[in-house]
Chains A and B, each alone.
Chain A
């Protein structure tokens, strides 16, 4: 079992819709959870991080964490074509070491 799992996609949504990206992790000791966005040929950039169960909102983005189910998600409201990218889920178990999932490719169609 992979430590961090994501559906590779592509996830296709129409412009203006809500995109829902999901991630599961295997280690119950995981403490911190991150979503990175990566445009094709570019480096990852941090969108959001979440530490506690529940929701965390930042603009059009909402991260949701459920530690009991070992599940973290990212919702993107009012999706725009510029949101088309690969979204990487990452977790930290201890220290500052990130473990990444394989990423979900999101396509927002005009």
Chain B
């Protein structure tokens, strides 16, 4: 099992550009999550999904969109990049009834 994978590892965007952060898991987990982590801070939940076709907002959803068409994939879309979106983005997955979350390696995003 590859676990949770994320691409790209690092990206520089110009203000106003858009991009999609990819996340995939091969553990057949129902739950998937997107977090952002600013320097020296904890993780904040952006969006989550409890299964294919079902998504919901977390604590900091503004400026982001998600979709969940399959169990395996949970992409995060940034439509109009802003400097405030400079952060490290982590995707995670988990199983219904088990509260452990498994994290991907992260995507470091710099918006200039």
Contact = CB atoms under 8 A, between A and B. Distances in A.
Interface string A3-29: 010101000000000000000000000
Given A46-B101, A49-B100, 12 more contacts: A42-B106, A43-B90, A44-B103, A96-B31, A96-B99, A96-B101, A97-B48, A98-B99, A100-B35, A100-B43, A100-B44, A103-B42
B43 A88 contact: yes
Contact of B41 (A45, A97, A102): A102
B104 A88 contact: no
Interface of B: 31, 33, 35, 40-45, 48, 50, 58-59, 90, 94, 96, 99-101, 103-106
Which bucket holds chain A's interface residue count? Answer: 20 to 34
Nearest to A45: B103
A103 B40 CA distance: 8
Contact of A97 (B40, B42, B45, B104): B45
B23 to A, nearest CB: 12
A11 to B, nearest CB: 15
Nearest to A8: B40
Contact of B100 (A46, A97, A99, A101): A46
A44 B106 CA distance: 10
B21 to A, nearest CB: 14
Contact of B106 (A43, A45, A92, A102): A43
Contacts of A8: 40
Nearest to B96: A96
Nearest to B105: A43
Contact of B42 (A42, A46, A88, A92): A88
A101 B42 contact: yes
Contact of A49 (B44, B99, B104): B99
